[in-house]
Structure 1
Amino acid sequence: MSVTVFEQQRLAKLWIMILMALAAAGVLVGAGVGSTGFENVFNARHDPVAWQIVWDIRLPRTLGAWLAGALLGLSGALAQGLFRNPLADPYLLGSASGASLGVAVALALFGVSPLATHWLIRLGLTGAAFIGAAGAVLLTLLLARGVQHTLRLLLAGVIVGVVLGALSSLTMLLVPEVLQAMQAFLLGSTGYVGWSATFLMAGIWAVCMLLSWSLSRVLDGLTLGEATAASLGLRLAPLRATLIAVLALAIGTAVAQTGLIAFVGLAAPHLVRSLVKTTHNRLILLSSLMGAVLLMAADLLARWLIAPMELPVGVLTAVLGGGYLLWLMHAQNRSNSTVWKR
C-alpha cells in the first residue's frame, strides 16, 4: 500500500512538471499565433510595431488565458470537493448569472441612462462583473442560511442562477443596445486581457492557491462524509465558508476578465482524476494547472483555426469540453455494462 501511495505521489509530481512544460511551450507558441503570423516574433527586435504586437497583445493574452484557466480549474476542484460531486460546476452558486447581470446593468447604465455617474463609470465592466458574481454567491448563502447543508446550498444556487439569468435577459430585452456587447461577454474571450488584468489574476491566483492548499485537509475529510469529518475535529462551518469565499473570489476574478467560459472548471478535475489518484493538496494544484493548459490551448486554437479571424474561446471550450464529458459518460456506461454482464 505504501508503495502505491509513493508511486501516486511520484506520478503527481511528474504531471506537475509536464503541465508546467506545456504551459511554457504554450506561451512561446502564443507569442507567434495571430493574424500576422510568426514573423512578428522574429522581427520583434528590429521592428517596433512587431515588438508592440508581441509584447502588448499576444503575451498578456496568452498568460491571461493561462491564469484564467488556472482560476477556473482551481474553482472546479474546490466545488467538486465541497459538494462531494464530480459533476459539480464552479458556476453552481450563481456566480455566472450574477456576473452576467452585473455586466448587463452596467452596459445599460453606461449607454443610455442618466444614472451613469462618475463612480459607476470608473467601476467599469470588470468591476461590475466581479460585484455581480460575488453578490450572487452571497445571495445564495443567504437563501441557504449558511453553509451547513450542502443540498440546500445547491438548490439555492440553482434558484439564484435562474432568477438572475432571467433578470439579465430582461435587461437585454428592455435595452437592446447592449445585446452586441453582452454577446462578447457571454461567449467568453481573452482578446481584451492586458498586462494589468494579467497581474491582477496572478495575484488572486496565488492567494486562492495558498488558501486552498492550506484548507485541503477539509476537502479530504469531506470525502469521508460530514459526520466523519466532524469526528476528526474539523470545524466544518467556518472552514467551508472560507472555501466558498475562495471559490467566489477565483470565479469572480476569472469571469470578470474573460467572460463566461464553460466546461474548463468542470473538465479539468476530471482529467486529473483520470491520470492520477491523489489527495486534495495535489489535486487542487494539478486541476489548476490542467485548467490553465486547457484554456491556453483553446485560446491558441481560437486564434489559429480561422485566422486572421478568430473564434470565441468560450464556444470552443464548450464544444471540446462537452464532447469530452459525453465521451467520459459513454466510457463509464460501457465499463458498468461490462461489469454487470460479468
Structure 2
Amino acid sequence: MKNFQLVRALSTASAVGIMSKDTASMFIAGGTNLVDLMKKDVERPDKLIDINGLDLKGINRLKDKISIGALAKNSQVAEDKIIQEKHPLLALALAAGASQQIRHMATVGGNMLQRTRCPYFYNTDMPCNKRVAKSGCGAIGGYNRMHAIFGASESCIAVHPSDMCVALAALDATVCVEGPKGKREIRFGDFHRLPENNPEKDNTLESKELIVSVEIPDNAFSKNVHYLKVRDRSSYAFALVSVAVALDIKNNRINEARLALGGVAHKPWRLTEVEKFLKGKTTSEAIFRQAAAMAMQGAKGQGENNFKLKLAPNAITEALTIAASNNRL
C-alpha cells in the first residue's frame, strides 16, 4: 500500500474544498471497499479525506419522501422502522449484502461507489481496461462466470456488486450530491453507467462531488415485495443473479410494478418494459413467465456465464411469485 496523508473534514463544504485543492485525494467513510483496493494497489491516493464527522447519518421522513444520509450505515438503514414500514424492499436487499460486520461499517454512499469484484480488476498483473485504459479485458475469453449478460462492451464485461443499489434503482431513488459547482440531484437510474468505451467511469459523479444523501419517493410498495439473491453460498457472497421486485396489487391485479436485476450488468439493470407489461395484469405463473422471458431480450452470455441466461428468468419468475404471495403487515 502506498503511503498517504489522512485529513478530517468538519463540514461538507470543507470536504469538497479539500478535494478541490488536491486531485489525488479520495473520500473515505467505512472504507470496506476502498481499503481493500489500496492494499491491492488498485487505488493509490496521496490523501484520504475522512468524512465520518459530517452530519450525514440521519434517516428522515420528509413531506413526500424519505431522505437517507450518505453516512448512514447499511445495518442502520436495514433495521430502521421507517424503512421497514415504507420501503421493505430496501431493507431486504441490505440484509442480503455482505456480512453483518461489514454492514455495520459500510455506508450508503460508499455502497453506491463500490467497485466491481472482477478478479482481473483486482489483479494488477492482469489486463483490465477499467484499471488501465486500453490494456485489454482479461475477462473476455477468460474467466467470466460472474460477468455481465446485459449492457457489456468490447472494453468491459464486469458487473456492479451492490445489492442495495438494485433495490434503490427499482424504487426510483434520487442521489443528492454537492461539489464545487454547488448542489444537484441525479436520478438513481442515471447514476451508474454502462462501460461503453470508458469502463473506468463507474458513475456520473463529476470531479470532486460528494454524495450527501439518497431520497426515495413515497410509493405503494409496502407489502408485495421480495429481494431474491442467487449466490454460490448462503452468506458473504456476491450475486450470480439478484432480483428486486415491488408490486402494488389490488384484488389480484397489478396496479404498478417495479423490477431490477443485479449481478448481470455494469449497473443495476432496471426492467422498465417488463414493468409496463405487468401493469394491469392478473397475477399468475403464466404471466410471470412471460414477463421473465421479456426481461431476457438482448441478453448475451460470455461463455462461462451462459448459465445466467437460464438462471435469470427462473429467478425473475420466482421473485415475482413470492412477492405476489407476500402478506406483510
Q: Give the structure-1-normalised TM-score.
A: 0.25
Identify the structure with bigger relative contact order (alpha carbons < 8 Å, sequence gap 6+): 1
**Larger radius of gyration, structure 1 or 2?**
1
Which has more strand, going by share of residues?
2
